[in-house]
Every structure is written in C-alpha cells, then in structure tokens.
Amino acid sequence: MTATTPTEQTGLDTIAELAAQLRVDSVRSSTSAGSGHPTSSMSAADLLAMLITRHLRYDWDDPRAPANDHLIFSKGHASPLLYSVFKAVGVVSEDELLNGYRRFGQRLEGHPTPVLPWVDVATGSLGQGLPDGVGVALAGKYLDRLPYRVWVLCGDSELAEGSIWEALDKASHYQLSNLIAIFDVNRLGQSGPTELGWDLDAYTRRAEAFGARVLEIDGHDLAAIDGALTAAAEAAGSGDRPTVIVARTIKGRGFSEVENKEGWHGKPFPEDMAERAIAELGGVRNLVMRGPGPEVQTEPPQQAPARADAAPRPEAQANQTQPRYEIGEKVSTRKAYGDALAALGARDPKVVALDGEVKNSTYAMEFASAHPDRYFEMYIAEQQMVASATGLAVRGYKPFASTFAAFFTRAYDFIRMGAISGVALRLSGSHAGVEIGADGPSQMALEDLAMMRAVHGSMVLYPSDATSAVALVEAMADTPGISYLRTTRGSYPVLYPSGEAFPVGGSKVLRSSGTDDVTLIGAGITLHACLRAAEVLGEDGISARVIDCYSVKPIDAATLAAAADATAGRVVVAEDHHPEGGLGSAVAGALLAGGRRELSLAHLAVREMPGSGTGEELLAWAGIDTDHIVAAARQLL
C-alpha cells in the first residue's frame, strides 16, 4: 500500500499502519546491517507515528527553516526508528535505509549525527538529548522568539542519568513550556530490567518534583497518544513549565517472539526471524506521510518574555571597543575574559553567555550585567551548562560558557559529544593549577589542558596577560568547533600593548638573541616565572630565549623548532599542570614530529598531589617557579 498524503488529520487506522511500517523498517534495516537496536525502536513506533503525522510542525524539504519544530532522539540507539521516520516522510530512500545503515562511509550511522540535515545534535551517549533540548528551547523562547516546539524522545534507561533531572530542573526554572519530553518506558534496559520498571507513578513524582507538567499514557493507545501530544502542544504556547509524557510501552512491540523479553537489547533479528517478525507485523509497506508544516510567521517575532533574572541594569554600560590595559598594570586574565566578553556582546548580538554560578570568579558577571537578556545562569550544573550551550549553538548563537577549569571535567562527555555534533562551543576555565593557593586540590585544574587537547578539532588557548586574553576571546568568537581558554586567578603584569595581534596557532618570543643558550617555554603563570628566570640566568652570562606558548593547540611548531635549533636542543618547559597531556606534551610532540633527534628537554610540571598553601609556596613545592626553572636551565648547560 502506497500513499503520499501530507495531512494533519490522518485517521488512526492509517497512523496504525504507519506505526507498523516503522517497526517493519526498523527490523529490516538492522537485520540488513547485522547490528542495531530493533526492539528499542519498536517500543516507540506508535509515539513517533502520531507525532510526525499530526503534531510535529516541520518542513522536511527545508530542515533549516527557522520556525521548524525540533525532534531530538535522546535515546540515540533507536536510530532504526529515526531513519525509518525519515523514509516515511520521503527524505531517505528505501535503498539507503537498507544498504546505508551502519555501513562504512554512509550517513545513516549507528547513532544519529548532524551529518543528516534533519538531526540537530549527536546522541547515543545517554542522558544528553534532553539537556541539549533545553538549550534549543531557551533559544526559542528568549532569543529567537519563535513558536517552535522541542520534542525529545527519551529512553527509560537514561532516566537514571542525573543530567536528565538537571535538564528538567533548568527547564522549569526558565519556564520552558516549549520543551516536551516523551519518556518511552519499556521496562527493559541493556542487561536487564530498568531501575523502576513500569512504575509510571514513580517517574511522574520525580518529574513533577522537578517542576514539570506530567501526562501518563499507554504508549500504544493512539488516541491517548494524540490527546497527550495535543495537550503538550497547547501548553507550549501558553504554559509556564515543560511537559513530560510518561508512556508505558513494550520493548519489541508487535513481534510476539521478543515482546517484553530480556536478552534482545541491541540485537538484530537473524534473517529467518526477521521474516517472521515482518509477517506478524503485516508485511512491508511504503507509506509516505507528512504532518503539518511550521507555523507561518506573518508578524515580527514576539517580544521575549520577561525574566526575573534578566532585569535591565542602567548602570551597566557595555563598552563596544576592546578593553585596553597598560603595560605593567596587574590584571588577571579571568578579569580580562569578562571585560572582553562584555565588549564582544555589545558588538555581536549572537554572542550569549552561560556560567555555573561562579560568575563573580570567572568574571562572566561583566557580560551578565551588560547583556542580562543574553545571559543564562546554569547554577552548579556544569553538564547542563555545556548542553545548553550546545542547544544554543544549534540555533546559530555563539555561546561562551565559563566555570572553574576543574569543573569542566564533570561535563567532559558533553564536550566530547559537542565535537561529534559539530557545534561551536567556547569554554573558559578559570582558577587553574596550584597557583590558586589555599583552596586545595579539589579546585585546582591540573588535567584540563590534556582533556581539552584530546577533543577532536579543539582549540586550546592559555593567555599570560590581559591583552592576550582579550585578543584570544575575540578569536574564539569566530572559530568553529570546541575552543577552550584557560585563565589564571591571580593578577600579573600586562606584557603586551593593547591591540597586539595573537593569531591562533602562534606564539610570542619575548626574549631572544643570536647567541641564546637555552629556550624557556611557559604559558599563563609560568611565563612570568620564565621571564624572571631569564633575568637571573642573564646575570650569570647565560642567554635564554623565552617563548609565550599562548596557543597550546594548535601549537606554533615552526617557532619552537627554530628556538630548539638556536639553543642546541636545550629546552625547558614549565607548566602549572600535570605532566601528562599538557603544554610539555604539546611542545615535545611538535618538536619530535618535526623530526628533531637532538633534544634535551627539561619538563617541569606538577607531579605530586598538592595541598593547601599560598600560590608562591605551591609553585615552589611543585618545582615550577623561577628558582626551579633556573636550576633546570643550568642543568641542561
């Protein structure tokens, strides 16, 4: 049976046929690929059939239409269902579904990614789709001011992830009635039953406790599904909180051999079994059906709703020019970050900022004061902060997210998935290294450079003074992918005149001569120690070249190689970071990749577990202060 009937009023019998088609195609595609998750797809087929025919307002021929609804599969392993939906709306062919799923070089990957234009974010690492959806919904309600809805399909296994509840908490705080989560409660996880099984009341109580409006339904009753989706859609335009639809479903629905049976998660059916499943489901169908298009905008976007946390502050005057500092003036790079971000926001309305409730330490408060309507406080929820930034980036904004550098470790999976999604995230981590002093090791980021360097396509920047921090914030605004700025707590002398250029991938040679004996390389706090060390060495007639390695990734391999050549391979690298994966690793990797064989490298780093103390005490204890740099240089000579 074939039909091409885009309509909002498709009958329930036809929608039931479409749901059966989605199940059949989920079986066919996964069996053809020899891998995949057909049973997880089959449980949610009725929900998706109803959603795409009557409620999802979407122009499938123009996936970037501004008023399109958004559909996010937080349970990304149910990709057979999503790709079967794409076939059902006519944007993916049967040939691609059956021969392109999970194949090398093809776009129907095992879990969805934005290589497909109808996919906003990469999912598959569970507990991330709903948090990302919060960011998209924030953009819709407060920035785009468009009536699109954000529909997120969640699996019940991922409801054990704390990030799901962080998402509902922030969605309720920001009154995101345009966010609708559908919980596919099919009872079975990968290795056995889920924590709560079919206890829908428990899910309801939890969601309500986080401020959501909850509707419980039978996830295979099409009339009940339609009623819940209708109620959620109506609330999206007039409500003040997100909606959660808790749907009781059966894993493997429609094929009696696997329905509600353990041991079938992530397993395709063998060919003979697939034939039986298809027969029981009524055979292959080729329905092509589309629901309503996006709401036509006949008037300018409505005014953004008032936010209690975004009241105008007349005293906050945003400077539209770059902040300027005098050479020798003591300014922390975290303060320069805040100054630069506020100035950037005045010139570019696409710039938005988020923070993890430490804005008075990261200095994101400068942006929050100047542009309160584009600042989103995520409180102590770093995963949700990065996820919200991801959703905002999906809508074309330029998010800058800041917190203590150490706390990005909590959100690392979201950063990693942001790279897979291909979004541009700009992250600023303050209070890095033992330099912060008495707070102790729980607050000292000593792994962040390694962590951020490992992200695919990332850019890692580490300014040593306020002028370079300002320039690098500007560079981040126009850079794709994941960029990370490491800032310092203490105030140190400005080294460069205002307006100095700091190209990404470059470095600065602050001291050099034609007779240099050794190269000293630092960034952030250790660059200042390197400069003092060069002065001490000079008193003994030892000439030291000093390099500010402000761009850790990409790194200035040519300048490093030239310095190593000029100083007979004698190089000292000092960093306020663990020895693994940071500045020293980047320098050594660049020099060795260049084929250099004669290299005498002294790598000073934090090699033991620090405690509390003053910054000066801890830098000396770690062996990365001026005295230790001098000693290392003399040892090389």
β-bridge partners, 519? 545, 571
Strands (E) in 349-423, as ranges, are: 351-355, 375-377, 398-404
Annotation says 382 is catalytic? yes
Maximum Cα–Cα distance across the chain: 91
DSSP alpha helix (H) spans, 395-542 = 412-421, 448-453, 466-477, 525-539
Whole-angstrom distance, CA of residue 337 vs CA of residue 326: 16
* Catalytic-labelled residue, pool 161, 216, 366, 382: 382
Please give the Cα distance from 42 to 112 (Å, whole number).
17
Q: Which two tokens stand for residue 491?
A: 């105030």
**Centroid of chain to Cα 264:** 31
**Tokens (6 digits) for 586:** 């980047």
In the block, residue with structure tokens 């292959």: 284
Contact (CB, 8 A) for 340 and 475: no
Which residues are bridge partners to 70 per DSSP? 150
Q: Strand order in 482-486's β-sheet?
A: 375-377, 351-355, 398-404, 425-430, 482-486, 459-461, 551-553
Contacts with 370 (C-beta within 8 Å, 6 or more apart), sequence order: 316, 317, 318, 342, 345, 346
Contact 177, 241 (CB under 8 A): yes
E strands present in 284-361: 286-288, 330-331, 351-355
Cis peptide before 554 (omega within 30 of 0): yes
Run of H or E including 163 = helix 162-173
Asked if 391 and 135 count as a contact pair (C-beta separation under 8 A), the reply is yes
Alpha carbon dihedral 416, 419, 421, 425, in 10-degree steps, equals: 100
Residue 113 contacts residue 122 (beta carbons within 8 Å): yes
Q: How far is CA 341 from CA 135, 308, 385, in A?
A: 20, 22, 17
Phi, psi of 238, rounded to the nearest 5 degrees? -135, -5
Asked if 152 and 129 count as a contact pair (C-beta separation under 8 A), the reply is yes
Among all residues, which ones are annotated catalytic? 382
